[in-house]
């Protein structure tokens, strides 16, 4: 958790993560990349930024997300302890910089970047992340996905089928999840963050309804043994996602009731509508107060 609580120049405590272009102001020297083995071929790497999924085997290595550019060497070093084969592909779960910052480095090292077409479009153009009044400059050409999809695609590598599926606009409009049905593992990107309030990035096409739908999709693909790699936070089980889903439903219901009653944003915030949820969800990427304001505006 500490990793995504860095303080940014904006003066608010938030995930420097999604919001600092290539992590420009951050010091990555102390970041340690940790490797967790999830199955014969699949691993989860944590460091700073979004959790990385790894498939390593006879066909080579591919990654799900690649954190920040300054961490690419450390990530490569961690991968070397898993496999001596090069990274062939990187799949981006969405366009935010804490998940795509390493694209250019991995691309230069020979990987083909894969993402939903909306991810490429947003990286290419750059844009505003309005909640944080942050402008993301256009990504360099070498960081852009060279293989894009509009709906689903499948990777057949390392003896596993990996289904890459575009979800309803939730965290952003380019959200994809990756499902390895054989290994019973799912990487959700930031559509699910384990243990804290989500960020519905309205300026990137995100919608709370979409996040709820994605949670339902992943729940339907899961059983008690499923390992879920969330965008941020520790490795999760189905029960963790079920709690997240229930929280999202409560949030939607309360915002809806307040809007139906004609409450203003100020009245809404003053009512402290998520006081009961704060202990469980409020100590993450978005503090309760900021989430309260943001979600009212996002719906
Ligand atoms: Zn994100």
What's the chain's average pLDDT? 92
Helix H segments across the chain? 16-19, 72-80, 97-100, 103-108, 117-125, 208-221, 238-260, 265-270, 278-281, 288-298
Residue 244 lies in a domain: no
CA dist 178 and 215 (Å) reads: 13
Is 22's pLDDT higher than 60? Answer: no
Note the pLDDT of residue 5: 35
Q: 19 pLDDT band (50/70/90 cuts)?
A: low
Q: What is the mean pLDDT of residues 233-252?
A: 98
Distance from Cα 271 to the centre of ligand 1, integer Å: 28
CB 268 within 8 A of CB 289: no
- Give the pLDDT confidence of 187-219 residue by residue, as tens digits: 999 999 999 999 999 999 999 999 999 999 999
Which has more pLDDT, 11 or 141? 141
- Give the pLDDT confidence of 109-130 residue by residue, as tens digits: 999 999 999 999 999 999 999 9
Distance from Cα 181 to the centre of ligand 1, integer Å: 24
Distance from Cα 189 to the centre of ligand 1, integer Å: 7
The CATH number of residue 51's host domain is 3.60.15.10
Cα 66 to Cα 45, 104, 231, 263, 289, distances in angstroms: 10, 10, 12, 41, 30
Cα 254 to Cα 234, 266, 271, 282, 299, distances in angstroms: 28, 15, 11, 16, 11
Distance from Cα 93 to the centre of ligand 1, integer Å: 9
Q: 299 pLDDT band (50/70/90 cuts)?
A: confident
Q: What is the mean pLDDT of residues 64-74?
A: 96
CB 44 within 8 A of CB 82: no
Q: What is the mean pLDDT of residues 90-116?
A: 97
Q: What are φ and ψ of residue 199, in 5° steps?
A: -105, 110
pTM of the model: 0.92
Residue 190 lies in a domain: yes
Tokens 């704060």: give the residue: 278
Q: 26 pLDDT band (50/70/90 cuts)?
A: confident
Distance from Cα 229 to the centre of ligand 1, integer Å: 14
Residue 268 lies in a domain: no
63: tokens are: 């990654």
Q: 244 pLDDT band (50/70/90 cuts)?
A: very high
Other beta carbons within 10 Å of 234: 14
Give the DSSP letter of residue 270: H
CB 183 within 8 A of CB 40: yes
Distance from Cα 225 to the centre of ligand 1, integer Å: 26
Residue 259 lies in a domain: no
**Residue 212, domain extent:** 2-239
Residue 177 lies in a domain: yes
Residue 263 lies in a domain: no
Least confident of 17-21, 25-29, 208-212, 260-264: 17-21
Residue 119 lies in a domain: yes
CA dist 269 and 264 (Å) reads: 9
Residue 137 lies in a domain: yes
Note the pLDDT of residue 24: 56
- Give the pLDDT confidence of 165-183 residue by residue, as tens digits: 999 999 999 999 999 999 9
Is 161's pLDDT higher than 60? Answer: yes
CA dist 114 and 92 (Å) reads: 6
Q: What is the mean pLDDT of residues 45-50?
A: 95
Is 254's pLDDT higher than 70? Answer: yes
Percent of the chain surpassing pLDDT 90: 87
Three-state DSSP state, 163? strand
Give the DSSP letter of residue 51: P
Residue 136's H or E segment, with its range, is strand 134-136
Give DSSP secondary structure letters for 171-238: SSTT-EEEEETTTTEEEEETT--TTS-----GGGT--HHHHHHHHHHHHHH--TT-EEEESSSS-B-H
Is 230's pLDDT higher than 50? Answer: yes
Distance from Cα 245 to the centre of ligand 1, integer Å: 18
Number of domains in the chain: 1
Is 231's pLDDT higher than 70? Answer: yes
B/e letters for 237-262, b = 16+ CB within 10 Å, e = fewer, are ebebbeebbebbeebbebbeebeeee
Distance from Cα 99 to the centre of ligand 1, integer Å: 7
Residue 149's H or E segment, with its range, is strand 147-149
Other beta carbons within 10 Å of 126: 13
CB 51 within 8 A of CB 34: no
């Amino acid at each position: 958790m500490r990793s995504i609580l860095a303080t940014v120049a904006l003066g608010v405590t938030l995930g420097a993560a999604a919001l600092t272009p290539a992590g420009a102001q951050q010091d990555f020297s102390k970041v340690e990349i940790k490797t967790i083995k999830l199955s014969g071929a699949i691993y989860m790497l944590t460091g700073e930024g979004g959790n990385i999924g790894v498939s390593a085997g006879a066909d080579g290595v591919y990654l799900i997300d690649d954190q920040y550019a300054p961490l690419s060497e450390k990530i490569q070093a961690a991968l070397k302890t898993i496999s001596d084969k090069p990274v062939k592909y990187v799949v981006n779960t969405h366009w935010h910089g804490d998940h795509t910052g390493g694209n250019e480095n991995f691309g230069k090292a020979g990987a083909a970047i894969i993402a939903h077409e909306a991810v490429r479009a947003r990286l290419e153009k750059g844009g505003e992340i309005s909640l944080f009044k942050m402008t993301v400059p256009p990504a360099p050409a070498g960081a852009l996905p060279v293989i894009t999809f509009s709906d689903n695609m499948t990777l057949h590598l390392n003896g596993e089928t990996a289904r890459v599926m575009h979800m309803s606009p939730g965290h952003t409009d380019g959200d994809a999840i990756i499902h390895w049905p054989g290994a019973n593992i799912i990487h959700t990107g930031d559509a699910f963050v384990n243990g804290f309030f989500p960020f519905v990035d309205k300026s990137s096409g995100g919608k709370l309804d979409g996040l709820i739908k994605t949670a339902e999709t992943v729940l339907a693909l899961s059983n008690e043994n499923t390992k879920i790699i969330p965008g941020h936070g520790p490795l999760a089980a189905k029960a963790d996602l079920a709690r997240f889903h229930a929280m999202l439903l409560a949030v939607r219901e309360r915002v809806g009731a307040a809007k139906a009653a004609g409450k203003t944003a100020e009245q809404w915030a003053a009512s402290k509508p998520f006081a009961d949820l704060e202990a469980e969800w409020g100590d993450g990427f978005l503090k309760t107060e900021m989430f309260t304001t943001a979600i009212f505006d996002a719906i």
